[in-house]
Structure 1
Amino acid sequence: MPERKVTIAAKTGLHARPAKLFVQAAAKTGVPVRIRVGDGKPVPANSMLGVLSLGATHGTEVTLEADGPGADDALDTLAALLGRDLDAEPTGA
């Protein structure tokens, strides 16, 4: 199963706007992606409540994992998104 480790760059972590943008992007991939912190239980990346429940703050390393066709592309896209400070980007990013 492909996976990517990425450090959360958003200054507010995966809360509010960054979490919303991440969840929307995960849903658009069409691939079942999961996200976890450390050795914790993975949650669906397209679930706002699941993502918020991780409590991932700025600098937290998360692991993204996915299965199936398109998994690598989906993980690359989502890892790149988390690697940016989404709070610093204009609305509609």
Structure 2
Amino acid sequence: MPERRVTVASKVGLHARPAALVAKAAAAQSVKITIRKDDTQPVEAGSILGLMTLGAAHGDEVVLSAEGEGAEAALDHLVQLVGSDLDES
């Protein structure tokens, strides 16, 4: 299963607006994407509630995973979002 590690760039972490943007992008992918912090259970990246309960703050490293056809491209897209300052978007 492909995985990508990325550091959360948004100053508020994956909460509020950044969580909504990431969840919307993840839900639009053709594969299911999960996200986790080290040593935690993965949550669905397409779920705003899941992202917010993850507790990923600015500077935290998260791991995105996906499986299936198109997983690599989907992960690349999500890594770009999570690694961007979505507070400014």
Equivalent position amino acid for 1:50 in 2: G
- Amino acid aligned to 1:45: A
Tell me the residue number matched to 1:41.
41
Where has structure 1 moved over 3 Å in runs of 4 or more? none
Q: Secondary structure at the match of 1:11?
A: coil
Matched letter for residue 52 of structure 1: M
Aligned residues: 89
Gaps of 5+ in 2: none
Q: 2:80 aligns to what SS in structure 1?
A: helix
Per the normalisation by structure 1, the TM-score is 0.94
What residue identity is the alignment partner of 1:61?
E
The offset of 1:39, in angstroms, is 1.6
Q: Distance in 2 between matches of 1:48 and 1:9?
A: 17
Which position in structure 2 is the counterpart of 1:66?
Answer: 66
Q: Secondary structure at the match of 1:29?
A: coil
2:8 alignment partner AA? I
Q: CA deviation at 1:2?
A: 0.2
Q: TM-score, normalised by structure 2?
A: 0.98
Partners of 1:62 and 1:77 in 2: how far apart? 15
RMSD across aligned C-alpha pairs, in angstroms?
A: 0.6
Residue aligned with 2:64, SS: strand
CA–CA distance in structure 2, aligned partners of residues 48 and 15 of structure 1: 8
What letter is aligned with 1:31? V
